Amino acid sequence: MNELLVRFATWLDGFEASTALHESIYMYSWIETTHVLTLMVFLGMLMIIDLRVLGVAFADIPAPRIAAALDKPMVIGFVVMVITGFILFFAIPVRTTNSIWFRFKVVLLIAAGINAWLFRRRIRALEHTLPERGPMPTSLRKGAALSLAFWAGVVVFGRAIAYDWFDCHKDLTPFMSWLAGCVELP
Ligand code: HEM
């Protein structure tokens, strides 16, 4: 599996556009800045919805009304983050593929995605029985707490990608080398 991932990343690295982006004076920074700034839109809205479901904030406003009002900007923010994220990956594909922080981030992104899907399904199923004020059903509060934990992890691991503590050129243990996917292609 590691060899397949590194082969794919090496193939992407062969594109002129990938090198041009990585070596660009401004473009890479602008895309990364957009990736970071969109956090406020995406995670800012998501956190308000999750904190409402947990009953920690805006407990006097019906949760479905908050979710309905913030859903569109949240989804737009999410789409921009995913697009800019893939462009950042395309610019430095091999090093990013071999970053344990990026790998942990992808695992948490998938977990956060599955949790969001289950959460939305549960909200739709309970929509007509949800209380207008106060705490939400336990199943929804668990989903909101997991959501906050997963996305906090995505942010921390996203930030850690910039640090080369466990990059393949370092003196890694066999386990860390496997985790980072350090393979020599024939
Ligand atoms: C949608 C949810 C996402 C969130 C909340 C998120 C969050 C972050 C954060 C906080 C950083 C650190 C930025 C910094 O301080 O330098 C980051 C960096 C990064 N993200 Fe994301 N990200 C998301 C999706 C993605 C996706 C889908 C990819 C690629 C498939 C991606 C690829 C990257 C890369 C390569 C970096 C490192 C940039 C660098 O250090 O030069 N991100 N992300």
Tens-digit pLDDT profile for residues 121-165: 998 888 788 887 777 899 999 999 999 999 999 999 999 999 999
**What span, in angstroms and rounded, lies between the C-alpha atoms of 75 and 133?**
25
State the chain's mean pLDDT as an integer: 94
Residue 100 pLDDT > 90, yes or no? yes
CA 112 – ligand 1 centroid, Å? 14
CA 75 – ligand 1 centroid, Å? 16
**What span, in angstroms and rounded, lies between the C-alpha atoms of 54 and 9?**
41
CA 158 – ligand 1 centroid, Å? 5
Closest residue by Cα to atom 41, ligand 1, is 162
Work out the number of other CB atoms within 10 angstroms of the CB of residue 57: 14
Residue 177: pLDDT band by 50, 70, 90 thresholds?
Answer: very high
Ligand 1 atom index nearest CA of 43: 5
Q: What pLDDT was estimated at residue 175?
A: 96
**CA neighbor of 67 nearest in space, from 123, 141, 147:** 123
Q: What pLDDT was estimated at residue 179?
A: 96
Q: What pLDDT was estimated at residue 23?
A: 96
CB of 32 closer than 6 angstroms to any ligand 1 atom: yes
The highest-confidence range among 62-66, 149-153, 182-186, by mean pLDDT, is 149-153
Ligand 1 pocket test: which of 35, 40, 100, 104 has the largest number of ligand atoms within 8 Å of its C-beta? 35
Residue 110: pLDDT band by 50, 70, 90 thresholds?
Answer: very high
Residue 70 pLDDT > 90, yes or no? yes
**Residue 125 belongs to what H/E stretch?**
helix 100-126
CA 118 from centroid of its chain's CA atoms: 17
Q: What pLDDT was estimated at residue 75?
A: 95
